[in-house]
Amino acid sequence: MWIPDTNARLAPSMMLREGFPAPEIHVTASQYGEDAHRRGWLRLDRTLTAAEHSDIVDSSATWSGEDRSLHEIIAEFGPPSVTFGPTDPDRPKTLSYATSDRRTPVVAFHLGSAGTDTEAGSGDGPAAGAVLLAVRVNDDLFGGWELTPFGETTFAE
C-alpha cells in the first residue's frame, strides 16, 4: 500500500481505521485526501472561510458528544469540502471540511451504517442510515479524535 507520508503508517488514524466495520474504503480515502490537500493536489468542492473552519475545529468535538446523522452534520456545518464514499445518504462515508490554507487541519466526520436487524420473518430489510461514528481534527490519539456514543459502541464490539 502506498502511503505518501512515510510517518502516516504510524498515525493513530491508521490504527483506528481497522476498528471501522469492514475497514471502510472512505476512511482510507479521506486520509489520502488529507495528504493530497496538504500537497495542493486535492480540488475542494467547497472551500471554507477561516471563520467557518475555526467554528468547526472549535465545536466539532463537543457537538459530536451525541449521536448525529449525516443530515445533522450538513445542517450544522454546511456542505463538506469533499465527500469520500458513495453519494447515497444512507451509506457510510467521510465528510471532510477544509480551507485553502493547506497548513490547517482537515476536519473529518466519519460516518458508518446504523443498520439494524428486524424481526426474523417480518419481510422487512434492515433499517439503515449514515450515522456519525467519529470526528477527527488531527491525528493526536488523545486530543484529535472524538467518538460518538454510537461510535464507542461500534468500536467496542
- Other beta carbons within 10 angstroms of residue 110's beta carbon come to 28
* Distance of alpha carbon 132 from alpha carbon 76, whole angstroms: 13
Residues in the chain where the model's pLDDT stays below 70: 1-27, 114-129, 139-144, 155-157
pLDDT of residue 24: 58
Output the pLDDT for position 43: 94
Q: Which one-letter DSSP state was computed for residue 106?
A: P
pTM of the model: 0.78
Q: How far apart are CA 41 and CA 77, in angstroms?
A: 24
Q: Can you give the pLDDT at residue 118?
A: 37
- Burial (CB count within 10 angstroms: exposed 0-12, middle 13-18, buried 19+), residue 51: exposed
| CB distance 68 to 132 below 8 Å | yes
